[in-house]
Amino acid sequence: MGRLFIILGSFNMFMSVALGAFGAHVLRSLVTADRLATFNTGVHYHMIHALGLIAIGIFIGQIGVSKTLTWAGWLLQFGIICFSFSLYFLVMLNLPWLGAITPIGGVAFLIGWVLLAVSAAKKNRQ
């Protein structure tokens, strides 16, 4: 499971860098500054949470698989899809209603980080 999260994290890092470059070099001339800032927010959170997936994969490699860590990883991945990709599509397709999906991803991020902290705290008590 740890390897899977490292692979997912690496793939998401690749995607975030590619989408960041797309935003900087292509999208900049096609959308308003406000919409570009929204797109860049998606890229920023995408990158941070991709690193979180890699960290979870490494942590699983050190302490072993647990339900809490597994849920943390899947919630970060789900958050990337709901948060970042809703912002990408909102900007590129001009679909403002997608903004209603973004907070679902944000909540998934929050719960994922809490579960990672719980996993670390449990490990220290053993």
Residue-range domain boundaries for the chain: 2-125
Which conformational region is residue 83 in: left (phi greater than 0), alpha (psi within -120 to 50 degrees), or beta? alpha
Mind listing the pLDDT tens digit for each residue in 27-60?
A: 999 999 999 999 999 999 999 999 999 999 999 9
Mind listing the pLDDT tens digit for each residue in 53-99?
A: 999 999 999 999 999 999 999 999 999 999 999 999 999 999 999 99
**pLDDT at res. 126:** 46
Residue 107 CB partners (closer than 8 Å, separation 6+)? 79
Give the helix ranges, DSSP H, for the chain: 2-25, 33-63, 67-79, 85-93, 102-125
Q: What is the pTM of this model?
A: 0.94
